[in-house]
A = this chain, B = another copy of it.
Amino acid sequence: MTHRIAILGASGYAGGELIRLVDSHPDLESSYLGAHRKAGSTLGNVHPQLGGGDRSLGSLDPDEIPDVDLAFLALPHGASAAPAVELLDRGIRVVDLGSDFRLDTVARYVAAYDAPHPYPEELGTWAYGLPELFSDQIIGIDRVAAPGCYPTSALLALAPLYAAGVISAEGIIVDSMSGVSGAGRGAKENLMFGAVDEGVAAYGILGHRHQPEMEQGLGAVGATEPQIIFTPHLVPMQRGILSTCYASLTGDLSRNDVLAVLNAAYANAPFVDVIDQSPQTRWVVGTNRALLTAHVDPRTGRVVVLAAIDNLLKGAAGQAVQCANLMLGIDEAAGLPTAGWMP
């Protein structure tokens, strides 16, 4: 049985990847593509790389959206709350790739965004769409907030260790690098080729909104909620996130002990591989995979856990499809690539 899909925000980077994944998915078909500024354009103009010239993009007007089985919302922050609620009212499942429903309490939301939430009663009713950790909550539900790209990498790296009590709530540091596509497709001076190429810099230091999301995620699997320092960096590449995470071990564990905890946690996870080598983002770009490794420093009692993902796939569109698969009762891995290409 084929499930009918709507994609809202079809003109952005994540939207393009959703279209590509749904088009090649054995059990899904795209019934509606909606966009804001690009409504009325053809797909060939908006995403020439997709090779499917003539399909036309509709608007974001809910009245235009047909009765599909599931809608992906890949919209700017703040723009998905209203259509999400309206689609749910119509009985349409929703996977929101934005940040409107990721945080689970009003207090957390207000602290992070310094603004009231338009639908406060909705907070906490959404599943947090990281299947490797929370599949129980995702299977069969009708509303999923897909995690941010950085939290996906950091939680995959740290959650099993934190859940097992192997690392302390104190002193967790997440130091991440991201390719430029994470910042979206809109024209901004600081994202021009001439502003990004051949340089690196940190941004959002101690104030990035993915930090409370990471703390919430670890808090959900561990005894207490930790306080995390998170530093994202922009690096001159298109795709990929590498998170280098530091934490204090609670006991005298070896590297093998730590790797064993990670391996056990992901034994049945189709997209997470725990490896010996240092993960390279190039090895996962174009796929829904996450690569993890860990090193232990006996001198300082700290562990370094590294995670590499494709920010637009496992960090966005791929993970959204993975959630949709679980919501719709399809095989979790259906339609999701695990082989990429390089160079």
Q: Which residues of A contact B (CB under 8 A)?
A: 13, 16-17, 20, 23-24, 48-53, 170-171, 173, 175, 177, 179-181, 185-189, 191-203, 205-206, 227, 229, 231, 233, 235-240, 242, 244, 246, 273, 277-287, 289, 295, 297, 299-300, 302, 304, 306, 308, 312, 338-343
Contacts and interface: CB of A to CB of B under 8 A. Distances in A.
B199 A23 contact: no
Contacts of A281: 199-201
A30 B331 CA distance: 25
Contacts of A16: 341-342
Given A238-B198, A280-B201, A341-B20, A185 B192 contact: yes
A304 B211 CA distance: 15
B295 A17 contact: no
A202 B341 contact: no
Contacts of A188: 187, 192
A186 B171 CA distance: 40
Contacts of A287: 49, 51
14 contacts: A16-B341, A20-B341, A177-B233, A180-B193, A187-B192, A193-B196, A200-B280, A201-B282, A202-B244, A202-B278, A205-B304, A206-B304, A231-B244, A286-B286
